[in-house]
Amino acid sequence: MIVLEIVLVALAVGVVWGLLRRSRRRRPLAVAAPRAPMPSVLVSDQVARPSLEEPTSSTLASRLSASRGVFDRVRSLGSATNLLPEQLDTVEEVLLRSDVGVDTTNRVLSTLRSEGAPQGLLHAVRAAVLASLSTASRELSTSTDDGRVAVWLFVGVNGVGKTTTIGKIAHARVASGEKIVLAAGDTFRAAASEQLALWGERSGTDVVRAHEGADPSSVVHDAVGRASARGYDLVLADTAGRNHTSSNLLDELAKIRRVADREPGQVTETLLVIDATTGQNAITQTQQFLAAAQVTGIVLTKLDGTARGGIVVAIEESFGVPVKLIGTGEGASDLIAFDPIAFVDALLEV
């Protein structure tokens, strides 16, 4: 009897133990689902170095699709060689809508009238637009006197894309082995230097920054000192762009430039950044800055978001300052050297 009782108790204990184990084994399974997305990996990835790779296989033509769309009607005239008045009207309307400006439009039309279109209208428009673009060098210079550090200053009104452009350039140049320092010279808002610091972190670039309201010239001065001490190649200096009609801003830019150009620094480029979506307003901004800032080249941003791509032509024809870079998106690799032929073909090629 006692043996039987012991066996029964042992069996009961075994069953209860088994059930407990099963339920214990099940419990973690039950809670595993909500715990699975715990973002420990994501968090450490973000902190370390988020990937800058984007799936950008799109062509220039597709990036410029809105501007390209404006030229659809010219493209459809294609190989017409006998110029009818209504065809010239179409060309005129399309050129004006694309924002190449009145002067360029008139010149293209008079070229068409005088020379005709022996190889077809599209070919003639392409040649005339290309002839309106600058023949000045579009190289970005880093060549300095011995022992000095090249500085590129980025100027332009608020929101045009200065900080983003600096981030993109840092990304590309660091990837090709250059050593760069970013100077957070927009001290107007703390968020501006944080934005630059983020780009610095993403591309693995040193950033010199100061507190909100600090003297931007001293930030640039410190960045040049740091680059010089470490034997770096280039300083990319951000600036504030609050208001292009404010003479204070232009005075401040002149001061930053003086400081940046003092040994061991040497300003080799002053790049005016312009937002292509502002169309003819861009022309007014260009005028203001050219007068004050010794601009050596233009960066035209946001060409992906506008049908007014012709503004490139208007700017170059009006001012003779070459567009050196164009922005075609918000990603790190959406900045390319401006190539007139590739650009005009992206708009006009069938």
Q: Which residues bind ligand GDP (CB under 6 A)?
A: 156, 158-164, 241, 273, 301-302, 304-305, 327-330, 334
Token representation of residue 133? 């673009």
Residue whose tokens read 């300052």: 321
Contacting residue, 163, 266, 277, 328, with Mg ion by CB under 5 A? 163
164 binding Mg ion? (CB under 5 A): no
CB of 55 to Mg ion, least distance (A): 26
CB of 278 to ligand GDP, least distance (A): 12
CB of 240 to Mg ion, least distance (A): 8
Token representation of residue 237? 């200096």
CB of 39 to ligand GDP, least distance (A): 25
CB of 84 to ligand GDP, least distance (A): 38
Q: Reduced to 3 states, what is the DSSP secondary structure of residue 265?
A: strand
Residue 156 or 322 with smaller CB distance to Mg ion: 156
The answer to whether 153 and 319 have CB atoms below 8 angstroms apart is: no
Q: Restricting to residues 175-194, which ones interact with Mg ion according to CB under 5 A?
A: 186, 192
Torsion sign, CA atoms 255, 198, 297, 247: negative
Residue 130 or 198 with smaller CB distance to ligand GDP: 198
E-only strand ranges, 230-287: 234-237, 265-275
Q: What's the rounded Cα separation, in Å, for the pair 271 and 264? A: 20
Q: How far is CA 229 from the centre of its chain?
A: 29
- Decide which of Mg ion, ligand GDP, none touches 170; Cβ closer than 5 to 8 Å per partner kind: none
Q: What's the rounded Cα separation, in Å, for the pair 235 and 265? A: 9
The answer to whether 91 and 74 have CB atoms below 8 angstroms apart is: yes
- Decide which of ligand GDP, Mg ion, none touches 158; Cβ closer than 5 to 8 Å per partner kind: ligand GDP
Residue ranges that bind Mg ion, judged by CB under 5 A: 162-163, 186, 192
